Amino acid sequence: MPRPTIYDVAAAAGVATSTVSRAFSSPNRVNARTREHIFAVAADLGYRPNPHARALLSGRHHTVAMVVSDITNPHYFELIRGAELRAKASEYTLVLVNAEESPRVEYDQIQRLVPSVDGFVLGASRLPDENLVQIAGQRPVVLMSRELPGLPSVVLEHTQGCHQIVEHLASLGHRHLIYLAGPRNSWMAATRWSALRTAAEELGLRAERIGPFTPKASHGAAAADSAIRAGATAIVAHNDLLAIGVMRRLKQRSVQVPQEVSVVGFDNIFAADLCTPGLTTLGGAHADVGRVAIEILLQATGPQQPTGTSPQVALPTELVMRESTGPCA
C-alpha cells in the first residue's frame, strides 16, 4: 500500500485532482464545503503531499541549510538549536552541514545543496566575499558571525563587546593585552582584533596580536607558550575553547591565573563556567543569532518579492566576569 496521492484523494472525494491540490495549497480558491470534504477524505486516507513533487514545480522546498565552519565547536550548538527551533516552528526542514574549517568543503557542499534548499544560513563562513556574493545570487543567504555589505547578517555586537573587555582589563590595571587570533580567513577574527586594537588605543593600552591559531582547546598550548614569551599580562583568546586550552597549559607551566596572567575568551560556552578558574568571556544570546538568522532567511525565501533590503542585525553582548581575570601583577 503505497502512499496515497492526490489522485486517490480526488477519486475518493469525487473531484478533480486540481481541486484537491488547491484545497491544500490555496484553500480560499475552493469552496469551504468542498474543501472540508476533501480534507476529511484526505485525512481518512492518510494523505500527505509529496514535498518533492511540490518542489519540482514550485521550486520551493521548505528546507534551509545551515552551514557551520566547524561543528565540533560547542559555540555552534546554541546557534544550531536556535535555528532548528525556528525552522521547525515554520515547518521548515533544517539541513546541517559541517564545513570542517575548509572553504573548499564549504563551497562544494553549498553547491551540492543549491538545487534542494530554499536558502542558506552560513555560520562564520570562511569563504571569500566574492563567493558569498555569487552564492547569494543563487539562493537567499544569511550570514552569521560575519558581515558583508549587501548581504543580510546576524552577529553579536562585538565592537561594543571588545570595548568592554578592554575596559575591564584596563580597570584592573593591565597596560598590555595580547590577542590570540583565530583563523586567517575568519571575519570574526579580523573584527575582534580591530575592535580590540581601537579600544586599546583609546584606553591607552598596548595591543598585540599573535596567531593565527585554530580555535580549539588542543591548540591552546602553543598559543599559551607564545603569549608567555611575548610577556603577556592579559590574554584575549579568539574563543573559549582556545582560552580553556591556554589556561590548561598555563596551569601546566605553573603560571597562575589570574594572579600572573588574566585570560578572556569569547562565546561563553557551557564549559566556560565549569573550568577552574571560571573563564571571563564575552557572551551573548547565541541561540537568538540562529533564530534570527533563520527568521530573516524565511522572510527572504517568502512569496513576496525580495525587498532589496539586507538587514544587518547586531545582537547585544554581555561580558561575563568570572575568575580568570584579575588585577595586573
Partner DNA sequence: GAACGGACAGCAAGGGGTTGCCATCAGGTT
Partner DNA sequence: AACCTGATGGCAACCCCTTGCTGTCCGTTC
Q: How far is the CB of 71 from a second copy (least distance, A)?
A: 5
- Interior angle at CA 305, CA 106 and CA 20, nearest 5: 95
Three-class DSSP category at 281: strand
- Of 270, 319, 296, 279, nearest in space to 75 by CA: 270
In 3D space, the residue among 125, 134, 232 whose CA is nearest the CA of residue 176 turns out to be 232
- Within residues 222-281, the interface with a second copy by CB under 8 A covers 244, 270-271, 274-276
218 binds, among DNA, a second copy, none (CB under 5 to 8 A by kind): none
Stretch that binds DNA, among 33-41, 82-90, 93-101, 181-189 (CB under 7 A): 33-41
Binding-residue total with a second copy (CB under 8 A): 40
* 7 near DNA (CB under 7 A): yes
Among 29, 112, 184, 206, binds a second copy (CB under 8 A): 112
8, 84, 106, 295: which one binds a second copy (CB under 8 A): 84
Q: Tell me the closest approach of the beta carbon of residue 118 to DNA, in angstroms.
A: 14
Long-range contacts of 12-18 (CB under 8 A, 24+ apart): 12/41, 12/44, 12/45, 13/37, 13/38, 13/41, 13/42
The single residue among 12, 39, 49, 93 that binds DNA, judged by CB under 7 A, is 49
The single residue among 11, 45, 55, 321 that binds a second copy, judged by CB under 8 A, is: 55
**SS3 state of residue 232:** coil
**The one among 11, 12, 45, 71 contacting a second copy by CB under 8 A:** 71
- Grid cell, residue 86, equals 525556528
Which option in DNA, a second copy, none does residue 112 bind, with CB closer than 5 to 8 A by kind?
a second copy
Residues 149-208 touching a second copy, rule: CB under 8 A, are: none
Question: Interface with a second copy includes 80 (CB under 8 A)?
Answer: yes
Would you count residue 31 as binding DNA (CB under 7 A)?
yes
CB of 114 to a second copy, least distance (A): 8
Q: How far is residue 93 CA from its own chain's centroid?
A: 17
Q: What gap in Å lies between CA 244 and CA 229, rounded to an integer?
A: 18
Q: How far apart are CA 83 and CA 121, in angstroms?
A: 9
Residue 2 interacting with DNA (CB under 7 A): yes
Q: Measure the CA–CA gap between 264 and 320, rounded to whole angstroms.
A: 10
Q: Which does 58 bind (CB under 5 to 8 A by kind): DNA, a second copy, none?
A: DNA
Copy the grid coordinates of residue 135: 552564492
Closest CB to a second copy among residues 40, 56: 56
d(CA 113, CA 101) in angstroms, rounded, equals: 18
d(CA 27, CA 22): 6
Q: Is 40 in the site for DNA (CB under 7 A)?
A: no
* CA–CA dist 131, 149 (Å, integer): 14
| Closest C-alpha to 321, from 271, 263, 281 | 281
Q: Does 256 bind DNA (CB under 7 A)?
A: no
Q: Candidates 116, 218, 252, 256: give the one binding a second copy (CB under 8 A).
A: 116
The contact set with DNA (CB under 7 A) reads 2-3, 5-7, 14-19, 21-22, 24-26, 28-35, 47-50, 53-54, 56-58
